Amino acid sequence: MITRAELESARRRAMTLLERAGIVARQDELERIEVADMGLSELEQSGVQILTLVDTQKIAAKVLVLLPYQTEPEHRHPRLGDYPGKEETIRCWWGELRLYTPGEPTPKPLASPPARRRHTYTVWHEQVMRPGEQVTIPPNEPHWFQGGPEGAVVWSFSTKAIDVTDIFTDPDVRRVTVVADG
């Protein structure tokens, strides 16, 4: 749960970073920026801001904004019936993104998720991504990422996005942001 003020603050900060990154969006798209606190009520630490530009029955193109050191918790995009699950290419466009996927754990990773949630982060192979660098994540592969010191603006190019079916390692995550009254 976040307050209306927290939501508006995150949206404004995201819009500032989108502008620095040279992202070209219409006003109506910007007004629909999703502020996702993942139900953890610690938006500065855990969450992401999402600008959806394309979202058809077949593909999606979204711009993700990570505030400085903000972490999108570990999750995967599972199979759903005939659909093998979302394949996602993450491309860094501005700032720095630390991406973690399965593989050899990096001995001294740059990112540190919130201490009391660390046990819900299970993949530790680090790739530090700068503008122009990208990684394709196959369906159902767990991954998480964190913005660098100035945050990050990254593209997510993917097959069909069905966010509500994403599976988060942390059982406390709720994909829908609840805004507190008042």
Could you list the residues that contact its own copies (CB under 8 A)?
22, 24-26, 29, 53-54, 56, 58-59, 61, 87, 89, 91, 93-94, 131-134, 136, 155, 157-159
Q: Which is nearer to its own copies, 61 or 167 (CB)?
A: 61
Beta-strand relationship, 125-129 and 88-101: antiparallel
Give me the least distance between CB of 176 and its own copies, in Å please.
26
16-31 exposure pattern, b = at least 16 Cβ within 10 A, e = fewer: ebbeebebebeeeeee
- The neighbouring-strand residues paired with 97 are 129, 147
Q: Which is nearer to its own copies, 109 or 138 (CB)?
A: 138
Give me the least distance between CB of 157 and its own copies, in Å please.
5
Q: Which is nearer to its own copies, 94 or 168 (CB)?
A: 94
E strand or H helix at 89: strand 88-101
